[in-house]
Chain A
């Protein structure tokens, strides 16, 4: 019946989307090879598309897929002796002894995704490849989609992924969750990989659009998985809280024509209250107990913005105090720049400008358009229009996306009187 075919087709798709990360993680754990895992996962899906319409959808589709994929992997390893010796001959032999027919598979798919998170974010991999691997293997994006996410040609991304996968296999980057003593050292790279996906979605580094909602949502989905897998880690709660509190403003951040609307001018009625509420709950979790981490602090700052009725009633002294703690943990010029902007709100533009000018020689801010843009804003507020115009112009030479360029051009006009 055509109707049934559609039902089976869509359920396979739903199962695949939902279970793909777990399926891959399970296969990588067994065979230690991302390529092999991807190939047999696809074959299992194809087999499902053939068998399920006639045999019916099994009661545990995830387990069915895993068993089928594992068998395919064992077949391949047996055919390829070289591969088998290099990879996992012992584990493969153990798999062969596992005779449970796919339809009878009664085990639920074990959740090995946490180990996959740590594999994809291993410090032995290039920092720029960690986010890409995370998107490819945990979010299930295609290589072309990952390439689009990081704004590089598909061929370039394909090469980067091939190189990274080869390094994981040949350098034997282990597929495991770090022990309690190693976790504090390793978790930040995982959080950074997820956050880099989010920031690319929140503020695209270049291109026609200011934000990439799909990417930000994928990062939040990954954050939710991590939170489920590591419920005791407060920085995981902090990261998820931060992403929710920032993403809650997505609808108010752009005008109907795609123009950029700064925090000060946003219609706060369009902020997502439910998301803010959830984010604030996570902030409490992330700040409870020992000294907070950088994500918890940034989430707390975002919460202060989100909870304020307007810019004037924002608790700026508290925002500055949180930035002080954050700057102590993360002595980055970007944090110092944001702190200066908060000080300007608390103590006036002159105080903020003095702080910004103190950062002028930092080479890490060279080429970073928010720096001249922030200076321009404070100079404008002080009525120093010529200097503001110069700062807007240098920001314009550095800016990446069209809406930000348009915003800066608009501001430039207000100070030049054109």
Chain B
């Protein structure tokens, strides 16, 4: 999974200079290469709500992420590639990796359910 991280300053996402068209092109490249499995861009931070469940089952619902958050998950793509180098290549080609942005590459945890 490629996680597109945007740095934040004072609650505002720093623009890394890539355009909407850059993302559309990247999306098409992944689909054309047959590696794209799923993914979504996320709405901006003002729409974020955080849920926590306490020891007694009580729910605490707060607006936004925590104040100390320095990076925001901007979206993700799940891709199917043979190894880390291939994943890193796709991560590096994404508009999310340029400028102030960064891309985290995380393997999906595969749960093998024996039936």
Please report A residues at the B interface, Cβ cutoff 8 Å. 81-82, 85-86, 122, 124, 170-174, 176
Interface class of chain B by DSSP: loop
Q: Are the C-beta atoms of B84 and A124 separated by less than 8 Å?
A: yes
* B83 contacts the other chain (CB 8 A): yes
* B110 contacts the other chain (CB 8 A): yes
Q: A170-B107, A171-B107, A172-B107 are in contact. Are A85 and B84 (CB under 8 A)?
A: no
Chain A residues contacting B83 (CB-CB under 8 Å) are 172-174
Chain A residues contacting B82 (CB-CB under 8 Å) are 172, 174
- By beta carbon, the residue of chain B nearest A170 is B107
Please report B residues at the A interface, Cβ cutoff 8 Å. 82-86, 88, 105, 107, 110, 112, 114
In the assembled complex, the Cα of A130 lies from the Cα of B107 at a distance in Å of: 21
Chain B residues contacting A176 (CB-CB under 8 Å) are 85
Q: Are the C-beta atoms of B112 and A173 separated by less than 8 Å?
A: no
Chain B residues contacting A172 (CB-CB under 8 Å) are 82-84, 107
In the assembled complex, the Cα of A86 lies from the Cα of B108 at a distance in Å of: 12
Chain B residues contacting A82 (CB-CB under 8 Å) are 112
Q: A85-B112, A176-B85 are in contact. List 6 more A-B contacts (CB 8 A).
A: A81-B112, A86-B112, A172-B84, A172-B107, A173-B84, A174-B85
Question: Closest CB-CB distance, B92 to chain A, in whole Å?
Answer: 11
Question: Closest CB-CB distance, A185 to chain B, in whole Å?
Answer: 11
Chain A residues contacting B107 (CB-CB under 8 Å) are 170-172
Question: Closest CB-CB distance, A156 to chain B, in whole Å?
Answer: 25
User: Can you give 10 A-B contacts (C-beta < 8 A)?
Assistant: A85-B112, A86-B110, A122-B84, A171-B84, A171-B107, A172-B83, A172-B107, A173-B83, A173-B84, A174-B85
Chain A residues contacting B112 (CB-CB under 8 Å) are 81-82, 85-86
Interface class of chain A by DSSP: loop
Question: Closest CB-CB distance, A82 to chain B, in whole Å?
Answer: 5
In the assembled complex, the Cα of A171 lies from the Cα of B114 at a distance in Å of: 23
Interface core residue of A81, A170, A172, A174 (most chain B CB under 10 Å): A172
In the assembled complex, the Cα of A86 lies from the Cα of B82 at a distance in Å of: 12
In the assembled complex, the Cα of A176 lies from the Cα of B83 at a distance in Å of: 10
Question: Closest CB-CB distance, B83 to chain A, in whole Å?
Answer: 4
Question: Closest CB-CB distance, B103 to chain A, in whole Å?
Answer: 13
Chain A residues contacting B88 (CB-CB under 8 Å) are 124
Q: Are the C-beta atoms of B84 and A174 separated by less than 8 Å?
A: yes
- By beta carbon, the residue of chain A nearest B112 is A82
Question: Closest CB-CB distance, A89 to chain B, in whole Å?
Answer: 12
Interface core residue of A85, A86, A174, A176 (most chain B CB under 10 Å): A174
Chain B residues contacting A173 (CB-CB under 8 Å) are 83-85
Question: Closest CB-CB distance, B112 to chain A, in whole Å?
Answer: 5
Chain A residues contacting B85 (CB-CB under 8 Å) are 173-174, 176
In the assembled complex, the Cα of A22 lies from the Cα of B51 at a distance in Å of: 53
Question: Closest CB-CB distance, B88 to chain A, in whole Å?
Answer: 8
In the assembled complex, the Cα of A176 lies from the Cα of B86 at a distance in Å of: 12
In the assembled complex, the Cα of A82 lies from the Cα of B113 at a distance in Å of: 9
Chain A residues contacting B105 (CB-CB under 8 Å) are 171
In the assembled complex, the Cα of A171 lies from the Cα of B1 at a distance in Å of: 11
Chain A residues contacting B114 (CB-CB under 8 Å) are 81
Chain A residues contacting B110 (CB-CB under 8 Å) are 86
In the assembled complex, the Cα of A81 lies from the Cα of B113 at a distance in Å of: 11
Question: Closest CB-CB distance, A216 to chain B, in whole Å?
Answer: 32
- By beta carbon, the residue of chain B nearest A82 is B112
Chain B residues contacting A86 (CB-CB under 8 Å) are 110, 112
Chain B residues contacting A122 (CB-CB under 8 Å) are 84
In the assembled complex, the Cα of A172 lies from the Cα of B80 at a distance in Å of: 12
Question: Closest CB-CB distance, A213 to chain B, in whole Å?
Answer: 37
In the A-B complex, list the 6 residue pairs whose CB atoms are closest, starting with the nearest: A174-B83, A172-B83, A173-B84, A82-B112, A171-B84, A174-B85
Chain A residues contacting B84 (CB-CB under 8 Å) are 122, 124, 171-174
In the assembled complex, the Cα of A82 lies from the Cα of B112 at a distance in Å of: 7
- By beta carbon, the residue of chain B nearest A167 is B84
Question: Closest CB-CB distance, B85 to chain A, in whole Å?
Answer: 5
In the assembled complex, the Cα of A173 lies from the Cα of B87 at a distance in Å of: 10
In the assembled complex, the Cα of A172 lies from the Cα of B114 at a distance in Å of: 23
Question: Closest CB-CB distance, A110 to chain B, in whole Å?
Answer: 20
- By beta carbon, the residue of chain B nearest A178 is B85
In the assembled complex, the Cα of A296 lies from the Cα of B15 at a distance in Å of: 42
In the assembled complex, the Cα of A122 lies from the Cα of B87 at a distance in Å of: 14
- By beta carbon, the residue of chain A nearest B109 is A170
In the assembled complex, the Cα of A124 lies from the Cα of B107 at a distance in Å of: 13
